[in-house]
Chains A and B, each alone.
Chain A
Amino acid sequence: MRERILRYTFVLLSLLAAAPAVAQTPADTTGRPAGGRVRGIQYVESDHDAEAAREKAIPLLAGLSLSGDVAGLVMAAFTPYGQIEAACRVNLKERFFPIFEMGWGVSDHMDELTEQHFKANAPYFRIGCDYNVANDRLSGNRIYVGARYAFSSFKYDLDGPALSDPVWGGSVPYHFEGVSASSQWGELVLGLDAKIWKFFHLGWSFRYRVRIKQKRTPLGQPWYVPGFGKNDHTCFGGTFNLIFDI
């Protein structure tokens, strides 16, 4: 028992002796809070500050660019349909890029099996905005996400062999000229631009198109919609652009 009392007394005295050592923190001669105190040489992050300053200095209207789509030209030359397309894009603080696109869709195609021939030449228009998600806005390289509203009003021709009636006899002509149609659709855009040389950029965009509205005709829906592509509720497309800052 005596031995235990001595042991507890020793522990208690040890704790009391240690208490002033814990409470005695070094005096702060700088007057700063202890947590924020710095020892040694502190370097200012000059690069970061400079970049922040440069980004702050980007004007609201940072530029204007014109672009042309090469993919549409290639498609027009080698596939059943294609387009000639140009765009004008405004650069707002290297972040927002309102854009107006217009083009001329062309299709002149005959199916070898059914011998149906479709022909359309008409303009289309798109308006929308891209947003540059790249961290470094000043490099001239951009990654876009964006959206478009697009519209086309057009006429098309459709013809093929007359439809013969094997049961009742006779035939029905299959020849239609100047069938009026119109279509509205939306596009989600994912794109990329790379600065190649001074005012010249190269870029591409990948697009997911969704039909919003289409004028129905007694004949049915057109095979091709200028600017949209082969007619369906949804469609994938893309552009490969030569972009010139002006």
Chain B
Amino acid sequence: MGRWKWLAALPAALLATACSEIDCPLENTVALNVGFYDAAGAQFALSDTLTVMAAGTDSVLFNRGIDVTALSLPMSMGREADTLLLRFTDIDGRTATDSVIIGHADNVHFENLDCPPAVFHYITSVRWTSHDASVLPLAVDSVELTEPNVNYDARENLKIYLRTP
């Protein structure tokens, strides 16, 4: 009987019950993933220098990239639409800018008390502008929405098809 009593009382010291920890996800960046393609649908490395700016702000999201095939860009947390300004500059210093306007709905995402919260996005619409070929041959031709959910999954969200020289 004595042994039973000890066995019954023993776990009282151990009953700080613990659950397995939920670690913050390693992939914890929420970004719009964009890929560049030529008219034939093949991935395209930009021959000109590309700079991406956030319209309405003084933020430069991507600065003077060369041979760019894909980009990860931050989306706004509270706006209904983000306007990305894609500025192309060729080797002769000619510059042209196209816009990609992305409408989206946002929702706050909670993962764990230990992890900072994030804002996920759902893309509702995409519009774009194309500059005249006489200004600069390289331009945005069209944009395809491939994955509307912008979250921790690093999937490609937009395919930007380019009018190439």
Contact = CB atoms under 8 A, between A and B. Distances in A.
- Choose among B12, B56, B82 the residue with the greatest number of A CB atoms under 10 Å from its CB: B12
Interface string B117-154: 10100000000000000000000000000000000000
B22 A230 contact: yes
A234 B64 CA distance: 48
Contacts of A239: 15
A109 B114 CA distance: 11
Interface residues of B, number: 43
Nearest to A193: B8
Interface stretch (A12-20, A92-100, A217-225): A217-225
- Of the candidates B56, B59, B116, the one having the most CB atoms from chain A within 10 angstroms of its own CB is B116
A79 B57 CA distance: 45
Given A141-B4, A192-B8, A204-B12, A168 B76 contact: yes
Contacts of B15: 71, 74, 204, 238-240
Interface residues of A, number: 52
Interface in B1-25: 1, 4-5, 7-12, 14-22
A163 B110 contact: no
Contact of A165 (B1, B9, B10, B77): B77
A150 B117 CA distance: 29
A165 B20 contact: no
A232 B20 contact: yes
B45 interface: no
A218 B121 CA distance: 11
A239 B17 CA distance: 9
B11 A238 contact: yes
Given A113-B114, A192-B7, A192-B8, A167 B59 contact: yes
B79 A238 contact: no
Interface string A98-135: 00000000000111011010100000000000000000
Interface SS of chain B: loop
A212 interface: no
B54 interface: yes
Contacts of B78: 165, 168, 170-172
B59 to A, nearest CB: 5
Interface string B54-97: 10110101000000000000111111001000000000000000
Contacts of B106: 172
Contact of B57 (A167, A174, A176, A196): A167
Contacts of B107: 218-219
Contacts of B11: 204, 206, 238, 240
Given A165-B77, A168-B54, A169-B76, 4 more contacts: A163-B77, A163-B119, A206-B11, A240-B15
Interface of B: 1, 4-5, 7-12, 14-22, 54, 56-57, 59, 61, 74-79, 82, 106-117, 119
